[in-house]
Amino acid sequence: MAGAFKKSADSGGVILMADEVGFMMSPSVRKTWSPCGQTPVVAYRNRRQKKVSVLGAVALHAASGMIDLLCDFYPDSYVRGEQAASFLHRVLAEYPAGSIDLVWDNLQAHKSPIVKEVLAEHPRLALHYLPPYAPDLNAQEGVWCLAKHYRMANHTIDDLEMLHTEARRHLEEIGSNQRLLRSCFLGAGLALSPVSAQ
């Protein structure tokens, strides 16, 4: 990882850590406060099959330490090879100059033929794969945790469009907060500058 920092810093590039998540109609239930003797109840309809899939990445500008958050939303759908390739095209458009190092897990969609085509067409894009069962090394997991298990915990949303709207709103708020984004990298034990990577 330190080598990717050095290469990106020298070329004015970026390092991205990407991952997928599903925001479900059934909420993430967490402990909360309530008046003594009044047990809180989260009322929701059991629609487990309904969800909003999101493919997102935290993008670290290695030279400056600034972090962006990119998210593509797929209501009532899944992330497959086509969506992964589309996301890579977006990343290339967002960062038109310099090297791009993107780190994600070993999901089959990340190694699909259409993804390999994008990689072959754009030599400045390099894909790196995390070890199996190592979500704790991915800074993007911290973003999902903040949005899904804290900000949207105990939600009572009963409409897929509203779920999409709320997921987008919370992720946009997180993406506008450099302190929170930095905490996701630090929580994964990752350096935030070429100096600290040495």
> Which CATH number does the domain housing residue 59 bear?
3.30.420.10
The reported pTM is 0.82
What count of other Cβ atoms lies within 10 Å of the Cβ of residue 16?
A: 29
Kindly state whether residue 73 falls inside one of the protein's structural domains: yes
- The amino acid at 94: E
Report how far Cα 14 is from the mean position of its chain's Cα atoms.
15
Give a yes or no: residue 14 inside a domain. yes
Tokens of 58: 């935290």
Nearest CA-CA partner of 95 in 139, 60, 141, 138 = 60
Q: Dihedrals φ, ψ of 57, to 5°?
A: -155, 140
pLDDT tens sequence for the chain (198 residues):
556 556 666 767 899 999 999 988 776 655 565 577 666 665 665 655 789 999 999 999 988 889 999 999 999 899 999 999 999 999 999 999 889 999 999 999 999 999 999 999 999 999 999 998 888 899 999 999 998 887 776 566 778 898 899 999 999 999 999 999 999 998 888 767 544 443
Q: What CA–CA distance (Å, rounded) separates 193 from 50?
A: 40
Residue 36 located in a structural domain: no
Q: Does residue 59 form part of some domain?
A: yes
Alpha helical stretches, state H, 30-150: 81-94, 113-121, 139-144
Number of domains in the chain: 1
Range of the domain at 185: 2-31+41-197
